[in-house]
Chain A
Amino acid sequence: MTNPFSTEAAGLQGRHNAETIFKLSGLTAIVCAIGFLVFMVGSIAWTGSGALRESHVQLSIDLGPEKVDPSNVEAASYQTIVRDALKERFPEVTNRRDRRKLYGLLSPDAALELEQYVLDNPSVVGGVADIWLLASDDLDIYLKGDVKTELDESRRKFSDLEIGLADSLVQEGQTRRQFNTRFFTNGDSREPELAGILSSLIGSFFSLLVCFVISFPMGVCAAIYLEEFAKKNRVSEFIEVNINNLAAVPSIVFGLLGLAIFLNFFGLPRSSPLVGGMVLALMTLPTIIIASRAALRAVPPSIREAALGIGASKIQTTFHHVAPLALPGMLTGAIVGMARALGETAPLLMIGMVAFIADVPKGILDSATALPVQIFLWADAPQRAFEEKTSAAIIVLLLFLVLMNLLAVLLRRKFERRF
């Protein structure tokens, strides 16, 4: 007697095979996708982590009376003092060209930092003090082990002489590595060891603020009107189709529009977060409208009937009952839209937010740049040390994106209602 339910039954084998193949290919696709993601984020994080450490060099610095006048500390030439200290540490370096390389071990800002240090600690004036000073980007890279010493000298920037000097400092314990707070508190700089993301971060913040203030109320009002009040006819259908199309328009087009209208026609200030935010608002508006309409549509009609049935007017029904229920969904849509706007570079390039901005913007009318644009600028910079800065800035950007999306998810969870 054969088993009628046997797996050997006619035709079953083929079906099982199809299922197995489908499952396997799906699994492969997922593993590949996760693999790529992990590889990408991992390599960026690996590169970027370097930017979070900076190198210092310790020098014994002569702050005697012939160098610093104790009654007028600020008048001293700290540049000379630092250079003298270097010359004293390495008396064997005499050649002018080599001297320049020697001075290049320290950041150009070392003199300024020394001055600040002396002003903060007046007790060091008059004697010799061991003081830590910021290393230049080239030395920093060498100390991080990123210089290929096996290469021929002519093919690398850090010469044999500099390597010798650096090794000597390391041997004497005159170098150290520290957490780099500068990266978060400085604006942009031509010197990689001084460059930070604060100015671009604040620029992004102001732009997003403007973007939200404009696009959220406008998007919500448009959505409420279209969903609750507009008659469903040809015109509203046409508008709906066009809003969906607008959401798919490449963002650079909105940049061009902003350039033509906000800058050239209205003459608003170039490179300002105000214009940046307005352009981003144009771009985000369709997203918010679509998300808000979906949120409104998700409010069950029975709520509207209940309100209308006891004589609430249309406006009362909408604003007392429907809109509050849809609000979390609308906010979620807005946050997702904002997250997209935060990562947007192209439209900002069009309106001039791509300038070199070292100062932290104080308002929405100051010249500013944005985080993704800063990444773009650093990725383009010739110095090698900007490579890790670029990666670190990308990490910060990704972090904010993840945070915003998390906020959206939390919001949805918290206010999700069963009607």
Chain B
Amino acid sequence: MLNNSVESEKKMAEVETALNSDGPIIQAKDVSVFYGEKQALFDVNLDFEKNQVTSLIGPSGCGKSTFLRCINRMNDLVDIARVKGEIIIANQDIYAKDVDVVALRAHVGMVFQKPNPFPKSIYDNVAYGPRIHKTVSTKDEMDYVVERSLKRAGLWDEVSDRLDQPGNGLSGGQQQRLCIARAIAIEPQVVLMDEPCSALDPIATAVVEELIDELRERFTIIIVTHSMQQAARVSQKTAFFHLGNLVEHGDTDQIFTNPQDDRTENYITGRIG
């Protein structure tokens, strides 16, 4: 499974340069997903721009999470799931045979619906990614990375004096920001978020939303949300899914003020959903 390290480093460098060039950072081409016999996603074509926040909206069960989980191949974990089509990140089809999901997920981080910090210290939660990917070598460097990640996640001021305390002792909103800090500690290019605020109270939600806006400077963010207000607040692009189909996508303003499709209009005006 482990490639020869020189080669993998070279590959990493290639990916790095490709990721830093202009144009869409992620392109989904005819992506269909099947759970056993049942098709959950039908030929989705969607591009994502660099340093933008894209919202995926739609009624529950329409395949938003399924699509999101295709982008870092989390669907591999579901035995019965089958993915057809291509997802191209940095000119590389991530479903090609020679792609290692471990390397892929170092570039495409993920934040889950329910905050899921490891039952370890706050420090270890953030340090885990850099540690396994060996992106830092010294203790000082690690301290720096942990501090930087926690600062970017807006959590540093609240936890700097208790880094050795368990991460699951924090409040829900803090836990979710810890999970964000953990995801960005390895400097991914893309951060996927699956309803990151659905388990949080309105105040914690506002904090996380603000954070997402700040993170856009460094990362490309794709966020699944069931709240249209949230989509309107945090995202520049919005894609609307319905029954496994991508119905419409475009600038957030346009989707919310001038939807082209009846289904989109019905959804945002609350008639379906």
Our pick among B77, B79, B128, B168 for the contact of A310 (Cβ within 8 Å) is: B128
The verdict on B152 contacting chain A, using a C-beta distance below 8 Å, is: no
A80 proximal to B (CB < 8 A): no
The answer to whether A419 touches B119 (Cβ under 8 A) is: yes
Q: B16-24, B109-117, B226-234, B253-261: which lies at the A interface?
A: B109-117
| Residue B12, interface by CB 8 Å | no
B108 to chain A, nearest CB (A): 9
A69 at interface, CB cutoff 8 A: no
- Complex CA distance for A254 and B267, rounded to whole angstroms: 65
Is B133's CB under 8 angstroms from A311's CB? yes
B1 proximity list for chain A (CB < 8 A): 313
Query: In the bound complex, do residue B118 and residue A306 qualify as a contact, i.e. CB atoms below 8 Å apart?
Result: yes
On chain A, the residues within 8 Å of B116 by CB distance are 300, 302-303, 305-306
Contact with B along A310-322 (1 / 0, CB 8 A): 1111001000110
Shortest Cβ distance from residue A386 to the other chain B in the assembled complex, whole angstroms: 54
Given contacts A305-B112, A306-B182, 20 further A-B contacts (CB under 8 A): A300-B116, A302-B116, A303-B116, A303-B118, A304-B77, A306-B116, A307-B118, A307-B128, A308-B74, A308-B105, A309-B72, A310-B109, A310-B110, A310-B132, A311-B129, A311-B186, A313-B102, A320-B128, A325-B119, A419-B119
Residues of B within 8 A of A419 (CB): 119, 168
A186 CB to closest chain B CB (Å) equals 50
Q: Is there an interface contact between A309 and B109, defined as CB atoms closer than 8 Å?
A: yes
- In the complex, chain A residues 284-316 whose Cβ is within 8 Å of any chain B Cβ: 300, 302-313, 316
Least CB separation from B72: chain A residue: A309
Once the chains bind, are A309 and B110 in contact (CB under 8 Å)? yes
Using a CB–CB cutoff of 8 Å, the interface residues on chain B facing chain A are 1, 72, 74, 77, 79, 101-106, 109-110, 112, 114, 116-119, 128-129, 132-133, 168, 179, 182-183, 186
Residues on B with C-beta less than 8 A from A300 are: 116
Q: Which residue of A lies closest to B166 (CB)?
A: A417
Asked if A97 is an interface residue, CB under 8 A from chain B, the answer is no
Question: Which A residues touch B114, using CB under 8 A?
Answer: 302
- Cα A256 to Cα B103 in complex, Å, equals 52
- Which of A302, A311, A321, A418 lies in contact with B106, CB distance below 8 A? A311
Give the CA-CA distance A135 to B129 in the complex, in Å.
73
* B182: A residues at CB distance < 8 A: 306, 310
Given contacts A303-B118, A306-B179, contact A312 B168 (CB under 8 A): no
With A231-B79, A311-B129 known as contacts, the answer to whether A306 contacts B105 (CB < 8 A) is: no
- Chain A residues, CB < 8 A from B102: 311-313
Q: Chain B contacts of A312 at CB under 8 A?
A: 102, 128, 132
Smallest Cβ-Cβ distance to A304: which chain B residue: B77
Question: Smallest Cβ distance from A220 to chain B, in angstroms?
Answer: 20
Contact with B along A386-419 (1 / 0, CB 8 A): 0000000000000000000000000000000111
A96 within 8 A of B: no
